[in-house]
Structure 1
Amino acid sequence: MTDSAVTARLPRGRHGLPRETVVRAQRDRILLAMAEAMAENGYVGTPVASIIKRAGVSRETFYEQFRSKEDCFEAAYERAVELLLTGLLEVTGNAPDDESPQQRIARVLTAYLDGLAAHPAFARLFLVEVYAAGNEAITRRTTLQDTFVAIVADILGAETESQRFACQTLVAALSAMVTARIATDDIDGLRELREPLLNMIGRSGDLFGSPEPPGR
């Protein structure tokens, strides 16, 4: 599902939809508009007026939902996190009993890259614009990266301090590479990271954790 499919406009005229449905649809449109506007103009260069115009809502509607642009950004950031984590949790929670660490890390990496590629505007918000939104947003981003490190370390069987540090370094390198590709709208290059990364992990021996024979 792409960003454009995350939300849709309500039908024109009298639609008879419940109030909560209308409010939720308006909120979704505003969050997507926030992400798309920042993808074009950056956090600093995106005024509330641009978000309102792109979302097709009134200023009154915007301020019924959000106190400020900063408040809207925080909500859009949480939506970006939700979109990304949903795919990762599905992968980590439904692993076959006989799946090897190499196969599992392949599925997790694929879910991560595909999630970013499917939602480029939210991915840019999550990876790039977060650094313009203040210390609180950056702290949240760092916490989520630590969560991803824990997932990778668990899959690869990291037991020692040096193995956990290697997993931390791997995730930091991956974050830098995907951020560069999202920042330049290189979606194909984003997906092309998968095979080289998996090959590197497969050749790493016990660098990241317990060695496993390659295979996926």
Structure 2
Amino acid sequence: MARDGGKGEGEKLRRLPPGRHGLSREFVTQNQRERLIAGSIAAVAERGFRETTVTEISAAAGVSRRTFYAYFQTKEECFLATFDLLEEHLFAAIAAAAAAKPSWTEQVRARVEAMLGLFGENPDLVRFALVAPPAAGGPVLERNRSLLERLVGELAAGAPQGRGFAEPTEVEREAMAGAVAAVLAGKVEAGSDKLSEASPELVELVLAPVVGRRRAATAAAKS
């Protein structure tokens, strides 16, 4: 799998000092759980869901297997917790970015750029959430699909209604979800620095089912 030259999320994590470090139990618990989640992102981005083991997640997080099992019964449970945290951060960023924008088109553009900013800082998130799940199947693939369904809904939230605007069909929403995933995956595999280039294409994908291809292309060109 092609990777950019930057360090993965797991490699960036600080290890807790061994022994008596004077940190509260609450801090240690939260820190170790978040490190395991980051470790799962790094390991899956490198090897895929099926091939990733608890040992590899633990190693990427800098903790023992025993510590892993204190928080998660299985690697699948860890993966789903990772999706939970990813969705929390992603959709909070998207909502905050659009809050102050006066027009729907500007809101869409702001949401797309917020998403690209998050993924640009953490390209392994795209590999974890969008590239690797199809080969995993089961609950992981279901979470991938629900994430994409919600993502396209959030990106297009607040679309105008009335003359000149259309309500996207279910088929159009599914096509949009697949296209958004394909664009993000393609840019990441080409190098994380390419993600910022995806803004016009993604804005057009979100706008087109509502305003039509021509108006969407004109608006996206301003991105």
Fold shared per TM-score above 0.5: yes
Instruction: Establish whether residue 36 from structure 1 lines up as the match of residue 39 from structure 2.
Output: no
- Pairs within 5 Å for 1:56-205: 56-92=62-98, 94-96=99-101, 99-157=102-160, 163-165=167-169, 166=172, 168-182=174-188, 184=189, 186-198=191-203
TM-score normalized with structure 2 length? 0.77
Give aligned-pair identity as a percent. Answer: 28
Q: How far 1:87 moved relative to its partner?
A: 0.8
Counterparts of 2:15 and 2:67 in 1: how far apart (Å)? 14
Moved more, 127-136 or 68-77: 127-136
Counterparts of 2:84 and 2:210 in 1: how far apart (Å)? 37
Q: 1:25 to 1:50 in 2, by over 3 A?
A: same
TM-score normalized with structure 1 length? 0.80
Q: How far 1:198 moved relative to its partner?
A: 3.9
Q: How far 1:4 moved relative to its partner?
A: 6.0
Structure 1 contact 35–125 (Cα < 8 Å) conserved = yes
Equivalent residue for 1:9? 15
Structure 2 contact 94–111 (Cα < 8 Å) conserved = yes
Q: How far 1:188 moved relative to its partner?
A: 2.2
What is the CA RMSD across the aligned residues, in angstroms? 3.2
Structure 1 contact 9–25 (Cα < 8 Å) conserved = no
Q: 1:33 to 1:202 in 2, by over 3 A?
A: closer
Q: How far 1:126 moved relative to its partner?
A: 0.9
Counterparts of 1:195 and 1:17 in 2: how far apart (Å)? 46
Q: 1:38 to 1:198 in 2, by over 3 A?
A: closer
Moved more, 46-55 or 101-110: 46-55
Q: Which runs of 5+ in 2 are unaligned?
A: 1-7
Q: Which runs of 5+ in 1 are unaligned?
A: none
Q: How many aligned residue pairs are there?
A: 209
Counterparts of 1:205 and 1:52 in 2: how far apart (Å)? 45
Structure 1 counterpart of 2:113, one-letter code: T
